[in-house]
Amino acid sequence: MRKFILPLLVAIAAGAAGFSASRLWPPQTDSAAPASVSENVDFSLPDLDGELHAISAWRGKPLLVNFWATWCGPCREEIPLLVDTDRSRGEYLQVLGVAIDNPDAVREFAKEFSIRYPNLIAEMGASALLASHGNPAGALPFTLLLDAEGVVLEHKLGALSSDEINAWADKLH
């Protein structure tokens, strides 16, 4: 009888996790900003070295803010596209990562994927930050396109495609 208890508990936990995740799928993909998104985005978080940065420090240039995590499958698929965007459009569009993760994991991941754009660390307590910017479910990845003054122009819950990034970038010219 004891042989079956542990597998049964694992199966119940997996089922509960699957049910919770299924409520977040499919991700919303409309680009109209929801009412809960603030007009002007501003928050402060530490970087990989623990130095605090306000997002307003990047004002004056449009900003692509990507909330992600090393353990998030769609985030891992999207990162090479963001790295490429940073390299190809960096002169007029700043990419900024906000990792819902621990600094050591992000540091290792950034090295593996050659991420050169800045990353701030929100760790696991970021649900209020995500909710305040239009993502009450706290699902990842979540991306905001801000104009040079910090106003949300676009947002997306779910991985961005190359076509979406190109369309967003074209709006900035």
What's the pTM value of the predicted model, to 2 decimals? 0.77
- DSSP structure class, residue 125: G
- Residue-level pLDDT at 88: 94
- DSSP structure class, residue 172: T
* Extents of the domains making up the chain: 27-170
Q: Which CATH number fits domain 27-170: 3.30.420.40, 1.10.287.3510, 3.40.50.2000, 3.40.30.10?
A: 3.40.30.10
Encode pLDDT of 101-129 as tens digits: 999 999 999 999 999 999 999 976 688 88
Using the Cα atoms of residue 84, residue 34, residue 140 and residue 59 in order, give the sign of their dihedral: positive
